[in-house]
Amino acid sequence: MVGISLLEELKKSQNGRRFLRGTILDSKKITIDNTKYYLVRYYGYNSL
C-alpha cells in the first residue's frame, strides 16, 4: 500500500528513512505557520 502523510519534522533519533507506517519513498519539506512539516509518500504495512 502506498500512502501520503503530512508529518511534523521527523526526529533525528529515527535511523534511516523508516517510520511508524512503513518505508518512506520520498518527502518534501514545507513550512506552515513557522512549523516544519514533511509531506511524505510512503510504502506501508498498515493504514492508520
When the pLDDT of each residue in the chain is averaged and rounded to a whole number, the result is: 67
For residue 34, the SS3 value is: coil
CA 3 to centroid of chain Cα atoms: 10
How confident is the model over 29-46, as pLDDT tens digits?
888 888 887 777 777 665
| Residue 23: strand, helix, or coil | strand
- Give how many domains the chain has, as a whole number: 1
Q: How confident is the model at residue 21 (pLDDT cuts 50, 70, 90)?
A: low
**Domain interval for residue 6:** 2-44
Lookup result for grid cell 518505508: 23
Higher-scoring residue by pLDDT: 1, 40: 40
Percent of all residues in the chain with a pLDDT value above 90, rounded to a whole number: 0
Residue 13 — pLDDT band, cuts 50, 70, 90?
A: very low
pTM score: 0.44
Angstrom distance (rounded) from CA 40 to CA 29? 9
